[in-house]
Amino acid sequence: MTNTSKFSMVFPVYNEQENLEILFSQAKTAADSTGRPWEAVFVDDCSSDNSLEVIRKLAAQHSEVRYVAFAENRGQSVAFCAGFDAAQSDIIVTMDADLQNDPADIPAMLDAFGNGCDMVVGWRAKRRDTFWKRIASKVGNTVRNWFTDDGIHDTGCSLKVMRRDMLVNIPRFKNMHRFFPILMKMQGAVINEVVVNHRERHAGVSKYGNWQRAKQSLYDLIGVRWLMARHVSYSVKERK
């Protein structure tokens, strides 16, 4: 993959109608500035607002926009997986649709990708969240690192760049998006981090509560630790 390779931006969407046109405008500006071909893949997770109508409008107006619309709500991880499957390039850029991730960070992350680097993870060094959400994130990252030793400061940041051929081979399960770095490492990925901007939510509401996330994360951590302990790989000395 070269610095002229096409990339696919994947956006999972659930009830973000007020953010989508702004998000796409900012993402298009950032993507165009790279000089690379690109596409935007929106995955609507059966939104109950007008998100799908906005996405359809964007797709009708812009040839770069494609979308997948779920028949039922399946969660963010499944939406990511559908976007990976639909993507038509070898490089995946993931980002939340709530405008807290800044598309302006995409060019620098793409510059850090490749040349032996298989994944770039955004690091929100200055979080624009509530005090309790920042504390919950800090505790969550500490516990996750203790379980997985992935060495990543902020795996909860959805802004990431990844090799699609590795990404589609990782185990798929509910909430897997919280563990992309360690799951990619299990595929042999070399990972870099880039400090990125983090913004206050523009509109809409958070889809997760701290206690809900903590309970689910602990359950998932046990499962991921099991996967790590049972993971197998091999190298070939000779083949005929």
- Which domains, from first to last, does the chain contain? 7-230 (3.90.550.10)
Q: What CA–CA distance (Å, rounded) separates 201 from 127?
A: 11
The pTM for the full model equals 0.83
pLDDT, tens digit, 9 for 90 and up, residues 163-196: 999 999 999 998 889 889 999 998 999 999 999 9
Per-residue model confidence (pLDDT) at position 158: 93
Per-residue model confidence (pLDDT) at position 8: 98
Indicate the range of 52-56, 121-125, 140-144, 149-153 predicted with least confidence: 140-144
The mean pLDDT value of the chain amounts to 87
Q: What CA–CA distance (Å, rounded) separates 37 from 168?
A: 21
pLDDT, tens digit, 9 for 90 and up, residues 187-214: 999 999 999 998 776 665 555 555 566 6
191: helix, strand or coil: strand
Residue in this structure with the two tokens 């990543």, named with its chain if needed: 152
Q: What CA–CA distance (Å, rounded) separates 238 from 89?
A: 32
The confidence band for 88, taking pLDDT boundaries of 50, 70 and 90, is very high
CA atoms within 13 A on the CB side of 236: 3
